Amino acid sequence: RILLALSVFVSLANAQCTERELDRERAEDWKIHGCRSCKSMQVEFEGNCPQRGYDCDEALEMRTNVLGTDSCECSQLRCKDGNASLAIGGELFIRATCVDKEWSTLTKTVVESGICARKCDKGICRTHPDDYFNNNPIYIPFVVNPPDLEHSCPWGTCSSGAIASDSTWELTYSRGVEFSCAGDRRWQDTNGNRYDLIACMQKECEPLVFDEPATFCGDFIPAKHTCYKPQYVDGDSGVKTMTCDHSNALRYSSNDTVVALPICSHGQWTSNGDEIDDDTKGIP
């Protein structure tokens, strides 16, 4: 009988112990797994990227990690790129932490989406030193504007075309091209192509004044020529040229001689290297 009583007592104690053990495990499960089982964060630009001074890039990866192997550390989420911060609701964070299966930050208990952002402040992207323009007089400096309503990063435009360069190659852009500073410290065009440095082409040539002297055009009978305005068209690489519908029709109005191969160079019309005065006419 004593034995029986003892065995009942033992099994009661066992049951209590098991119940306590389960409680402890439940609490631990929740603590550990509730803060280790966050899913990957949704990447979203809208509503997360700070308005100015940061380049947010959907291609930048986020990475989760658990610090400590056997402790009950919670999962953390960071941007993989060491120079990128996590942008959430326009604010920047080093990390988000997993709490109750939800990502959270110091200011937000449930984070639904975020994006990785890198600085694109003034000075992040390089510009040519002054020397470059002394050595390459066909270019002028690319003027960098601060961020504004339409540009979250510093930006600039080249009204007459640009030369974009990398360590190994250069590319010419036609006029009106715009570049903005990207988080990888390079200049990007509106299609996302990136370059180390940008220089602008010299300014464009103005159309010449159309001159129609009576000695060559018009009023005398018979008229020597019928005169009309030349066209100003974009040639290769954004270089402007001046053309007429008829060959050899473009002439100086002062002496009726043909203007050969006119091109715009450094804001000045030239013909075979000589500057052209602003009195020309087209004569068929």
Structural tokens at position 8:
């009942």
**CA gap 29, 3 in Å, rounded:** 38
Q: How far is the CB of 171 from ligand NAG (least distance, A)?
A: 23
Are 172 and 163 in contact by the 8 Å Cβ rule? The answer is: yes
Residues 5-44 that bind ligand NAG (CB under 6 A): none
Distance, CA of 173 to CA of 175 (rounded, Å): 7
Least distance from ligand NAG to the Cβ atom of residue 83, Å:
4
Name the residue nearer to ligand NAG (CB basis): 108 or 185.
185
Residue 153 is encoded by which pair of tokens? Answer: 């990063």
Among 83, 109, 215, 231, binds ligand NAG (CB under 6 A): 83
Nearer of residues 152 and 280 to ligand NAG, judged by Cβ? 280
Site for ligand NAG in 143-162 (CB under 6 A): none
The single residue among 69, 247, 257, 272 that binds ligand NAG, judged by CB under 6 A, is 257
Q: In this chain, which stretch among 85-93, 102-110, 154-162, 250-258 interacts with ligand NAG, using CB under 6 A?
A: 250-258
Q: How many positions of this chain bind ligand NAG (CB under 6 A)?
A: 8
Which residue's CB is nearer to ligand NAG, number 69 or number 255?
A: 255
- What is the C-alpha end-to-end distance of the chain, expressed in Å? 132
User: Could you give the CA distance from residue 168 to residue 201 in angstroms, rounded to a whole number?
Assistant: 20
272 is a site residue for ligand NAG (CB under 6 A): no
Cβ 117 to ligand NAG shortest distance, Å: 13
Q: Which is nearer to ligand NAG, 57 or 102 (CB)?
A: 57
Strand order from edge to edge, sheet including 139-141 = 139-141, 197-201, 162-165, 170-173
Q: Is 255 in the site for ligand NAG (CB under 6 A)?
A: yes
List CB contacts of 101: < 8 A, sequence separation 6 or more.
34, 35, 37, 38
Report the residue from 55, 81, 102, 204 that binds ligand NAG according to the rule CB under 6 A: 81
φ/ψ bin of 263: left (φ > 0), alpha (ψ from -120 to 50), beta (otherwise): beta
Cβ-count burial of 250 within 10 angstroms (0-12 exposed, 13-18 middle, 19+ buried)? buried
Shortest Å distance, C-beta 35 to ligand NAG: 28
> Applying CB under 6 A, which residues contact ligand NAG?
81-83, 252, 254-255, 257, 277
